[in-house]
Structure 1
């Protein structure tokens, strides 16, 4: 395509130079040449001055970064970005420094300014950016390069237009299309390779340097000028591999284009042109996907796919052979060993591309085709199949593939085992995941991902002891931590106390030592904080109640992240605000909120809900109402937690009537009421001795079909006990425990025999069995059974019809079902 444009331009230039009209105007041109020369020289001097200024500013910026003066470096970078006539070279020194440091945050800041000024970046700029981001562990936060897939298609079309490519050439195209995730094109070219091998004309030899080469020259017989040939000729793939092609501002060989193109998602829109009479779609199917033999069936995912059988049948020069009967099964009798190796590599390339595109169906079909044509899969082939199967079918199917490898006496790669380890980690099967650690023997840094996955699973299951063993294994294999590892370390070890435990002086000192140790290791390995690591650090400080350190680190996060990522900055501020409210630091929370607003960070619904909850500390319903108004003005509707916080403020002021009005308003507006909201009222009613409120709320929960939880039972039971109504307390506990199991009496009757055996069992281990049910079936069921067992031990009979209880019937007749207004009248 580029050569065609070049051929089109050259004649136009020649015509303009030697036409009569140009000869007449030649004297006028000469007259203007002296002025043009002076003007160009002036521009050159001006550009030289601009370059010297830009180079000086780059040096100042790098010196500021080396001195740790990041704010000054950012100001200088902003000044540089406001210059005129900027080019990519004016930022190259900065990008180079960021790549060597590495400094991923500043490289992103530099990149953002270059994009704002619409500066076209060369290959070196992209290389430095990628290096800085990858070394710093930030590669997932952006897509850097978007190579042109259509260029590969143009080369392919030109290639097959003038000659039949060899199997070596086809191998390069398969690799290119596979890396670009164009599965349709990769599949179709792969089938041409299979057909060529089955024809018996694919001949490959070994070069002096040990590389495979085609035994025939890839030089086509020129057709004629009517077919697009010029006097310069078109020398096929040999020329294709040597003639430089201009892409952007650079000239690169098409050979490097076919080898170094990176992965591009969503690039399957292009179809590959197949020469000859091969049909792209079966005419008998009205444009639908054709049906092929088991040799190379088209996957049911759709698209224009061609089988090797179709390629053979459509080419009159192909040898006549039997194609039915379940497959060819004859490749090993026709093809040479080098040809089979090349085919295996190409099959593996496409299967790995299927793994990246999560196309399990096509990968499985290609694997079966290899078996049909007698091509033995390699460890690399199995590695790609395991990856795609695990991602789509699950870890169990992945293990079946590994078992198949073992049957063939093939040892899985460490990368294959790493894929299985990640699968087990994501399904939280930690024992099986950890068992695979000892089998991973390679110490390459590319295998850090499975270790991070297992650490994340340890974090999710709150198992820091297991995480310590994982870290010891990483140290043994000399695997360097990346930013994701440090993010998980702050989450796993940043705070000392278990959840729901307040920090004390000893735990705060220990947590401070841990955080300092993690940060020192980050500095040692040249890794800077990411947004997630900083957020996890803030959570750890908040959990320990380390308010002073929390505010200090918020200022650091504010300078590094909050202004660059406004939304992420809001999330960080919410983390700090939540911790301050939990620590009842209302003044600090108010100051942080004001600072957030002054910095133009947009509050979200969570921010407003946290601050409304903060108003319950100072018992100011007026301030909470003002926040609700701001919340609605910013487009956020009040949620269940909003009403819970507002009701909490009213209850703190003992305004039960207004709290019940607000509860009715929430129900009228369609807010989904939950047990936490009702428990908020029950707790305050218990503390104030308001049994009437407790009975009203319990009946309201029953009418709304909201199941009680252990806190509900505790508040109601304790309120009756404190007033001396012991029998009523036991009866209420039984009813609420039954409702914890189920609100439907039919469910209770169905499971009555099984539950009754557990509750009335005199075996001392009965409670342990109930605790086991707690572990497997959830907290509510276990708590309910333990409550009922305690009632039975105290001598009370157990009724499995809670609605027939005298206490339940009294509440129903007194408080429901009626309108909210009549409920309030009863109080």
Structure 2
């Protein structure tokens, strides 16, 4: 370290240490007797030491300077005492020492207050600044430019903007216009949240003909961004480029402003201009003592010497494909992204993923000498300073991270590749934004490949990036990978709780409470506090034990009560109150387990505790309760609850009316169901296919099969698209009656309506043929319906047939397990269909991927027109 720098550091350290009262005569005059007596006893043991130090300092100064210099040194020491007193919060002592400084016989200058004013500007402490200004006015001391800056910053930051404006007015009247511009900029920086103060400052700047510098434009940009005024940012850009050739720092400010306000078009243009400027090496930067990049050129209004015409902002500029899309307000392009992907086969997805990885990895082979393909960059960043590259990288990051919010993955990819082309290495922050863009635009598979490329380059991802990847895999129900990414987080923070909540939600969907317990144990070990969303998921995940496969019993009821008590006790320990969603999940859990009394008790608790519930939320809770009561065949309680709901004036929706119509099946009473349908229509609720399915169940409960068929005709006449559920209801009853010809007619209706069958459809059909001892027909029907479960499109079956046939005819001992693993958890129908086809092949049936060529399918198609009872559209 240089001797001069070492001396400067020792000097600053000496000024920051609060020295005790000294024995020197000149310093004793700076304190009144009362102050000396008060502190002398407390620090008597240090007095000799500090007296010697100060004496040596003053004697050293006396050897080289005259008496005024010694007075200046004493004033500086006094400033250090005052500042240290202010830091400790001892304003009374600071005021006394300031008064002593005023009463000194030595001539004071503006520099004798500079250190105090600098501290007051940082604190801020406007009241102490006003005291100093009074002293300077009494002593007729001229305020220096540096002190004007400190005073302006202290007054403005402390809320005394009017006093600061008066000071600026006086300054503008007595000083040259160029000298006061930095002080006006300080005022704009400190009061940018107040539009009135900004307007007053601009008026005074115009009145004094101060003009604007790059810093002025940067401060006004901050004001415009805080107000969300995109048109003002465009006006500032036009005004700035009219008088300036903006530096790379100013361009970076504009890129950040435009990207923050969602105008990616303008941000992209200015970014290209920054690349050109960085490649020309005409803008030099320096790093200040506060680690901030500053331009070394003079900040004075000069016309631009060279304009890059193809980078000028014009409204009709033709942008590449990433910008083609939605237009924002005021005519500016806010977000633009076409559809990024279409439904593809597994093989094409694999090829696309492999190609994507090769493109992303290609950046490692790009040297510093490569340039932009479009020819706009005439020079590269090979010899650009590190500070210039850093600022350029920040601007790329600004746009890429805004692409995350605007869901513009294609533009993020283009920017990412251009960084490689110009020799600008992406940082961890760049990868963080890019991976989040890819995650939203292309899915978790592509994002996972990007992070693999990132780690291969030796760049460790942020914990927030890992959390985002875990959330993406949790939403796609890839819980193994989601858990792995959660385990890689090095520093757990409270804001990462949403990643754990997403994983617990995935465990709830997949019904994997054991996996959830592992993560909960890790959360407790890491002292990660849950939030209300965590408990909402826990009530849904652990609130029942038998659903949906078994009926509840006394043991399961006791287990559920114990679990819920533990969760509620943990909520109480963390001082978290129930929300509407947590109470709804809790009531649903009791209802699904068949614990009717507990469910009704918590319904009353919810109405008393959640006082801020709106009528629609209460109606939602009553709908859950009614569904559980009807499922438990508690008819009278369901009717009484529905009457209470109507008496309270709560709105009933289509789902609630549908549940009550299904309740009429237990009576059975079609007249009551018709009355409910009338009430439903009167309340403005439109019946759905589920409503007609419930009405159909009521008719079937009364053994009115013909009426059920008529009701299905009415449903089709009303233009309501049927689903597989309403057909399965008819198939169930026809199977119980042994009416095979009706089953075959319904199956052909399903096929002609292009509705895919499900497992229940296959079960009712197969059982009907087996009950009639038509075994070969049962196997043939099972094979045809299984293929229709995979797809109703013959071309799709033909394309997938070769790959699926290998799974079906596999002779491996774990072939069934391979079939289950080949499909995701949401493709249960495909798994069931392949297992059925494997069983058919095992008993000797030939697998044909042309189900329409089956004799059974032909017979149903030929006999449908002659014997059909149903008219399909």
Global fold match (TM > 0.5): yes
**Residue 469 of structure 1 pairs with residue 511 of structure 2:** no
Out of 273, 286, 289, the position equivalent to 1:205 is 286
Distance 1:589 1:485 in 2: 31
**Residue 523 of structure 1 pairs with residue 572 of structure 2:** yes
Out of 728, 736, 740, the position equivalent to 2:785 is 740
Q: What value does the CA root-mean-square deviation take over the aligned residues? A: 4.7
Contact 1:459 1:491 in 2 (8 A): yes
Distance 1:331 1:771 in 2: 53
Question: Hey, what does 1:618 align to over in structure 2?
Answer: 667
Query: How far 1:641 sits from its partner (Å)?
Result: 2.2
**Residue 459 of structure 1 pairs with residue 540 of structure 2:** no
**Residue 699 of structure 1 pairs with residue 750 of structure 2:** no
Query: How far 1:613 sits from its partner (Å)?
Result: 0.6
Distance 2:468 2:718 in 1: 49
Distance 2:389 2:533 in 1: 41
Out of 643, 665, 685, the position equivalent to 2:714 is 665
With the length of structure 1 as denominator, give the TM-score of the two structures: 0.61
Distance 2:796 2:406 in 1: 49
Residues 290 and 499 (structure 1 numbering): CA distance in 2 closer, same or farther, change over 3 Å?
A: closer
Q: Secondary structure at the match of 2:286?
A: strand
Q: Secondary structure at the match of 1:496?
A: coil
Contact 2:743 2:765 in 1 (8 A): no
Out of 283, 293, 318, the position equivalent to 1:289 is 318
Distance 1:745 1:365 in 2: 37
**Cα deviation digits, residues 1-24 of structure 1 (max 9, x gap):** xxxxxxxxxxxxxxxxxxxxxxxx
**Cα deviation digits, residues 421-474 of structure 1 (max 9, x gap):** 223223322222222222211211222232222222222222222222222333
Distance 2:378 2:468 in 1: 33
**Residue 175 of structure 1 pairs with residue 231 of structure 2:** no
Distance 1:165 1:749 in 2: 62
Contact 2:594 2:628 in 1 (8 A): yes
Residues 605 and 672 (structure 1 numbering): CA distance in 2 closer, same or farther, change over 3 Å?
A: same
**Cα deviation digits, residues 392-429 of structure 1 (max 9, x gap):** 12333323332432343222222222232223223322
**Residue 362 of structure 1 pairs with residue 411 of structure 2:** yes
Q: Secondary structure at the match of 1:817?
A: helix
Contact 1:490 1:537 in 2 (8 A): yes
Residues 389 and 684 (structure 1 numbering): CA distance in 2 closer, same or farther, change over 3 Å?
A: closer
Residues 345 and 756 (structure 1 numbering): CA distance in 2 closer, same or farther, change over 3 Å?
A: closer
Out of 330, 333, 338, the position equivalent to 2:380 is 330
**Residue 399 of structure 1 pairs with residue 428 of structure 2:** no
Q: Secondary structure at the match of 1:197?
A: helix
**Cα deviation digits, residues 242-292 of structure 1 (max 9, x gap):** xxxxxxxxxxxxxxxxxxxxxxxxxxxxxxx99968467799xx945068x
Distance 1:755 1:344 in 2: 48
Query: How far 1:391 sits from its partner (Å)?
Result: 1.6
Q: Secondary structure at the match of 2:511?
A: coil
Distance 2:570 2:638 in 1: 32
Contact 1:679 1:711 in 2 (8 A): yes
Distance 2:785 2:677 in 1: 34
Residues 565 and 485 (structure 1 numbering): CA distance in 2 closer, same or farther, change over 3 Å?
A: same
Residues 411 and 154 (structure 1 numbering): CA distance in 2 closer, same or farther, change over 3 Å?
A: same
Residues 703 and 349 (structure 1 numbering): CA distance in 2 closer, same or farther, change over 3 Å?
A: closer
Residues 694 and 587 (structure 1 numbering): CA distance in 2 closer, same or farther, change over 3 Å?
A: farther
| Number of residue equivalences | 593
Distance 2:725 2:646 in 1: 30
**Cα deviation digits, residues 350-382 of structure 1 (max 9, x gap):** 221122212223223333333344333211112
More divergent stretch after superposition (577-586 vs 322-331): 322-331
Query: How far 1:686 sits from its partner (Å)?
Result: 5.5
Residues 515 and 180 (structure 1 numbering): CA distance in 2 closer, same or farther, change over 3 Å?
A: farther
Question: Hey, what does 1:781 align to over in structure 2?
Answer: 833
Distance 2:597 2:625 in 1: 11
Contact 1:580 1:588 in 2 (8 A): yes
Please, which runs of 5 or more residues in structure 1 have no aligned partner?
A: 1-122, 125-144, 224-272, 292-296, 306-320, 794-799, 823-827
Question: Hey, what does 1:608 align to over in structure 2?
Answer: 657
**Cα deviation digits, residues 543-575 of structure 1 (max 9, x gap):** 111212222333344456697444444433322
Q: Secondary structure at the match of 1:778?
A: helix
Query: How far 1:626 sits from its partner (Å)?
Result: 0.7
Contact 2:428 2:460 in 1 (8 A): yes
RCO higher in structure (CA 8 A, sep ≥6): 1
Query: How far 1:703 sits from its partner (Å)?
Result: 4.6
Out of 628, 636, 639, the position equivalent to 2:685 is 636
Out of 584, 588, 596, the position equivalent to 2:637 is 588
Distance 2:809 2:392 in 1: 70
Within 5 Å, which residues of 2 pair with 1:99-118? none
More divergent stretch after superposition (536-545 vs 746-755): 746-755
Contact 2:539 2:582 in 1 (8 A): yes
Distance 1:425 1:626 in 2: 45
Residues 146 and 462 (structure 1 numbering): CA distance in 2 closer, same or farther, change over 3 Å?
A: farther
Question: Hey, what does 1:483 align to over in structure 2?
Answer: 532
Residues 345 and 592 (structure 1 numbering): CA distance in 2 closer, same or farther, change over 3 Å?
A: same
Query: How far 1:164 sits from its partner (Å)?
Result: 4.9
Distance 1:754 1:410 in 2: 39
**Residue 494 of structure 1 pairs with residue 494 of structure 2:** no
**Cα deviation digits, residues 599-649 of structure 1 (max 9, x gap):** 433222212111111111221211100111122233333333222222222
Distance 2:860 2:322 in 1: 70
Contact 1:737 1:787 in 2 (8 A): no
Question: Hey, what does 1:648 align to over in structure 2?
Answer: 697
Query: How far 1:757 sits from its partner (Å)?
Result: 11
Distance 1:623 1:467 in 2: 45
Question: Hey, what does 2:27 align to over in structure 1?
Answer: none
Question: Hey, what does 2:66 align to over in structure 1?
Answer: none
**Residue 375 of structure 1 pairs with residue 424 of structure 2:** yes
More divergent stretch after superposition (704-713 vs 457-466): 704-713
Distance 1:682 1:650 in 2: 14
Out of 540, 549, 554, the position equivalent to 2:589 is 540
Distance 2:417 2:519 in 1: 38
